[in-house]
Structure 1
Amino acid sequence: MIKIIYGLIVSALMALLISCGSDNISSERVPNGVFNGVLAGEDTVVLVWDNTAHVLATDDSQLEINFTVSRLSSTGNNSDVTTRHVTGHGRKYDSNNDTFSEITISGSFTHTDMNTTFELTITDANNSEDKLFLLTSSTSNDSASFALLDGTYLIRDIGGLMVIDDMGIISGSDNNDCEYEGDVEIPDPNINIYQVFMTVRNCSLNGHYTGLGTLDQSIDTFMFSMINTERLLQYNLQR
C-alpha cells in the first residue's frame, strides 16, 4: 500500500515528568516498539525507534514524530508508572499542493513494565485538532530477523514485486515504473522493528528515503513507512 496524498512531519519537544524529582537533562527515550491505536478516528499502527515514530494509517494520513526528552520533574510516588507530558511543534505536508503548514502537539504517554499508552493532540494552523491514542501491540516483542523477512512480496494497491533477501537487501519495481533498491537493518532482534533505507528511481517518486517497518502477526505482510525532505510513502507488502 502506498499513501502520498497527505502527511505530517513533526518535531516534538517533550517535557519528561517522572517520579524522581530533578531539573537535570534526561537521556531517557520514548520506549521502542510497535503500537496499535486510533488517529482521527481511524485505526493505525505506529512504529517507534530511537525517539522517532512512524504512523501506518489506514486512510491517507501519515505522521512522523521526533521526540526529544528535555527535563525531569516529580509527579508522584509510584515508581512503577512513568508519565511523560508532551509539548511540541512541527509541519504538516500536503502532497496535493506540495506545501507545508505549522502544527503543534501536546499530550502524554504512560509507561509501565507491561506496556506504554499515548494520548496526543495534534493541532494545525487553523486550530483543527486530531487525536492520537496508542497502546503497545501484542506483536511488539516478536523477534526480528532476516530469515523471517526473506521473501518475494506483492506491492499491494499499485502492483509490482519487491524482493527482500536473507541479507536484508531490497530490490524490485512497481506498475508505475518505479524501481527500488536498498536494504533493511535490524536495530534490536528482540523488537519487531526494521529500519528501511531505500532509493527510488525512474519515476516521480525518485529519491533516497529512510523509514521503519514491521511484520504483522502472520509474518506474511511487511508494512513500512519511509520519508525524505519531499514526501512520505507507505507500503504494504504481501507474500
Structure 2
Amino acid sequence: MINELGGKMKRLTSILLVAFVVLGLSACGGSSSGEVTATQVKSGIYSGSWTASDGSSGVLAAQVSGNKLYAVSNDLKYLQLELSLNGIVVTTKGRFYSDSGSATVDGAITGSGTLKGDTVTMTLTLFDGQESQVVLTRSDISDDASSFDIMQGDYKSLDQIVDINLSAVGAVSGSDTDGCKYSGDISIIDAKINVYALTLTIADCPAIAGVYTGFISRYKKDGSIISGIFGNESALAGIILK
C-alpha cells in the first residue's frame, strides 16, 4: 500500500518529482566524495528514469544510504531495495508498491545491474514477472553536509495541511488538518552526506497509522525544502517547506 502525509499522495508525489527536475537534480553529475566500497553504492540523492517491459516509462527520485535504497516514480511506484556491490556488479532485492486506482499491489522484486561512476543501471524483475530498467545518477547535493542546525524549524506541506517541527536535536512532531499526529526523530548517518535517517510514528490516522523508517534530505542549503521517502508495509513520500 502507498500513501502520502495527510492523504494527498498523488498530487504531492507528482510535485516531488517535478521538484527534482526544477532543482536540476536529473542534470547533475556526481562528485568524487562518498567513496565506493566493495559492498556499497555511494550514499546520496539520485534521480533518473525507468522503462518497463510493457513500454511504459517515466522518471524517479531516490535516496541511498548504506545498502538501502528508497525510490518513488512519477506514476506512484515505490521501491525499497537492498543493494550489494561486487566490483561494478550490483545485485538487489526488495519490495515494490504500486497504486492502481482503488487497488494496491505490492510484492517482492529482485534484480541486477552495473555501476559506472555515479550512475547505477539496474534491471528489476517484479513479483508479477514484469521487468523494468532503472537508471539513477547521483546528484552533487548529496555532498552537502548534514546538520541539525540547518534542518531545525517549522515546516508545512505544499498543500498547507501538514505542520511539522524539527527540533535542534532532531526530534519530529506535528499534525495535520485530518487530525493525524506525527512524532519521531531524524539522525545524522554521515556528517558529510545529505541523507538523514528518519523514524516516524503516525497516530490517530487509521489509513496510514504506524511506524515508518526511511530517509529525508534537503534540497536547498538553508533547509527550506526537505523531501523524504520512507515506509514499512505502506510507503510514503512528501515535501515540506519552511
TM-score (normalizing by structure 1): 0.75
Shift of residue 136, structure 1, vs aligned partner: 1.4
Where does residue 114 of structure 2 map in the other structure? 108
Moved over 6 A (4+): none
Distance 1:217 1:59 in 2: 25
**Quick one: structure 1 residues 89 and 187, their matched pair in 2 at CA, closer, same or farther if it must change by over 3 Å?**
closer
Where does residue 53 of structure 1 map in the other structure? 69
The alignment partner of 1:147 has SS state of helix
Shift of residue 60, structure 1, vs aligned partner: 1.1
Higher deviation after alignment, 156-165 or 208-217: 156-165
Matched, 1:237 2:240: yes
Matched, 1:36 2:47: yes
Quick one: which amino acid aligns to residue 107 of structure 2?
S
Where does residue 92 of structure 1 map in the other structure? 96
Higher deviation after alignment, 170-179 or 127-136: 127-136
Tell me if structure 1 keeps the 8 A contact 2:70–2:214: yes
**Quick one: structure 1 residues 44 and 91, their matched pair in 2 at CA, closer, same or farther if it must change by over 3 Å?**
closer
Quick one: which amino acid aligns to residue 45 of structure 2?
V
1:106-142 deviations in Å (ceiling 9; x for gaps): 221124xxxx111112222443332211111020101
How many residues align? The count is 202
Quick one: which amino acid aligns to residue 194 of structure 1?
Y
What are the equivalent positions in structure 2 for 1:62-141 lying under 5 Å apart?
62-69=78-85, 83-86=88-91, 88-94=92-98, 96-97=102-103, 99-111=105-117, 116-141=118-143
1:165-216 deviations in Å (ceiling 9; x for gaps): 1111111011222110011000111100111011100012111111101100
Tell me if structure 2 keeps the 8 A contact 1:155–1:174: no
**Quick one: structure 1 residues 91 and 55, their matched pair in 2 at CA, closer, same or farther if it must change by over 3 Å?**
closer
1:2-44 deviations in Å (ceiling 9; x for gaps): 4767xxxxxxxxxxxxxxxxxxxx9632221112212344333
Quick one: which amino acid aligns to residue 65 of structure 2?
W
Distance 1:208 1:141 in 2: 28
The gaps in structure 2 that reach 5 residues or longer are 11-36, 52-56
Overall identity of the aligned pairs, in %: 25
Where does residue 145 of structure 2 map in the other structure? 143
Distance 1:235 1:190 in 2: 23
Tell me if structure 1 keeps the 8 A contact 2:77–2:98: no
Quick one: which amino acid aligns to residue 178 of structure 1?
C
Tell me if structure 1 keeps the 8 A contact 2:89–2:112: no
The gaps in structure 1 that reach 5 residues or longer are 6-25, 73-81
**Quick one: structure 1 residues 59 and 147, their matched pair in 2 at CA, closer, same or farther if it must change by over 3 Å?**
farther
The alignment partner of 2:143 has SS state of coil
In terms of fraction of residues, the more helix-rich structure is 2
Task: Specify the structure having the higher radius of gyration (Cα).
Answer: 1
TM-score (normalizing by structure 2): 0.74
Superposed CA RMSD in Å reads 2.4
